[in-house]
Structure 1
Amino acid sequence: MTANDAATVEFWFDPACPWAWMTSRWMSEVQRLRPQIQVTWKPMSLAILNEGRENGPHSDAHRRTLPLCKIAAGAAAELGNETVKAFYDALGERIHHQGRTDDALVTEALDEAGISADFAARAAGEFDDALMATHNEALTRVGDDVGTPIIAVNGVAFFGPVISPAPKGDMALQLFDGVVAAAGYDGFFELKRSRTRGPEFN
């Protein structure tokens, strides 16, 4: 077993973000190939992040998924990591692959993840503190001039990687090993180029 095989990962997401969804598919593939890697799934909110400065084309989507972020935070606090992942998977399939925005997708995702339907009503105010705690944790680690996804590898957090499509097999592992290597150097901060394609769901 190499050091990369035993890496720990924290993954912050907003269900509205297609780029976070793409990166989560890559991270899921890495964990499938290296099941000993521990991944903790944590919600944050783009609506909260951009509060007071958001008027772009994605504003409605961010506000629409804020209750879903709260549900995920409540699930993390009460039901555990695997339930959060199952809920995110169920949401992502409906939001990003099926293009849905209807209220029924929430009910379906709750049911698929094994979460009580009353979590939707409780999200109206009960899980605010839980969401703010995990949201602020992400920003404390990377700063507030970012978006989603945010990942931390072995305790070192970055915005990204932003990828399309999500790599599979050996390429997924090569990318992961590169991120682990970058995280291993204390002086590494940023690497970026302009995107030339949108999210390619596969």
Structure 2
Amino acid sequence: MIKEQPNRDEVPFWFDPLCPWAWITSRWLLEVEQVRPVRADWRIMSLAYLNLVQHEGKGLSEDYLDRMTKAWGPVRVCAAAAEHGGRDVLGPLYTAIGTRLHNQGRRDDPTVITEALAEAGLPDSLAAAATSTEFDQLIRDSHDEAFNEVGLDVGTPVLRIGGTALFGPVITPAPRGEAAGRLWDGLVMVAGTEGFFELKRSRNSKPSFD
């Protein structure tokens, strides 16, 4: 185990708190931290901004459009929290929000945000950001940092290994222990391959949060 090793490579990881696939991948990255000398650098992107603004809502069902409209709230609160306490608060806040939304299945529970803010040691006044556009420019700036590199034909998660931004990995359930480390090793090799663009197969499983 190398958990206590001080010299770690930072891995920027862009997430939208509403995305179940990003949530699973984020839990995998926390496992990687235990077995490889890396540290997650949590950053925000916005599925609402990507789908409703950059893609102008084209090709989306009414149900998905409604879901994307609601997706503004959690990511706006994350942006407000980062502005209030610095980007280091995003990890604990993301864990608090994601546990409630995904593991506990409380997507329609209005108390999720205030509970998560309290768990992360943040003021509940930040919950008001969910219905405000005050922090939208911060969201766009963070979002664009990733998507200007990785392109607009992907979603979340996005991570950067070395100087290469990649969409994914999309996995379920999250590998644990050394299995998580082996997947990381493979991604390092992929990211270091000049001209590599895509590796994909169709999903045949729903997200598993075990």
TM-score of the pair, normalised by structure 2? 0.88
**173, 177, 181: which one aligns with 1:169:** 177
Q: What is aligned with 2:38?
A: 37
1:56 to partner: Cα distance: 5.6
Partner secondary structure for residue 70 of structure 2:
helix
Partner secondary structure for residue 24 of structure 1:
helix
Q: What is the rounded CA distance, in whole Å, between the counterparts of 2:194 and 2:23 in structure 1?
A: 27
Q: What is the rounded CA distance, in whole Å, between the counterparts of 2:127 and 2:203 in structure 1?
A: 35
1:153-201 deviation line (CA, Å, top 9, x unaligned)? 1121011110011000111000001111111112111100111211111
Q: What is aligned with 1:86?
A: 92
1:151 to partner: Cα distance: 0.9
- The correspondence of residues 48-127 of structure 1 with structure 2, limited to 5 A, is 48-51=49-52, 52-53=57-58, 54-55=60-61, 57-100=63-106, 101-123=108-130, 124-127=132-135
Partner secondary structure for residue 191 of structure 1:
coil
- AA in 2 matched with 1:105: V
1:87-110 deviation line (CA, Å, top 9, x unaligned)? 110111111111112110110011
1:157 aligns with 2:159: no
Q: What is the rounded CA distance, in whole Å, between the counterparts of 2:160 and 2:71 in structure 1?
A: 23
Flag structure 2 segments of 5+ consecutive residues without an equivalent. Answer: none
**21, 24, 31: which one aligns with 1:22:** 24
1:199 aligns with 2:207: yes
Q: What is the rounded CA distance, in whole Å, between the counterparts of 2:85 and 2:64 in structure 1?
A: 30
- Percent of residue pairs bearing the same amino acid type: 46
1:77 to partner: Cα distance: 3.2
CA contact (8 A) 2:73 2:129 kept: no
Q: What is the rounded CA distance, in whole Å, between the counterparts of 1:26 and 1:40 in structure 2?
A: 14
1:65 to partner: Cα distance: 2.6
1:6 to partner: Cα distance: 4.2
1:57 to partner: Cα distance: 4.0
Give every structure 1 segment of 4 or more consecutive aligned residues whose post-TM-superposition deviation is greater than 4 Å: none
1:112-137 deviation line (CA, Å, top 9, x unaligned)? 11111111224512211111100111
TM-score of the pair, normalised by structure 1? 0.91
1:59 to partner: Cα distance: 3.3
CA contact (8 A) 2:34 2:177 kept: no
Partner secondary structure for residue 38 of structure 1:
strand
RMSD, aligned CA: 1.8
1:147 to partner: Cα distance: 0.7
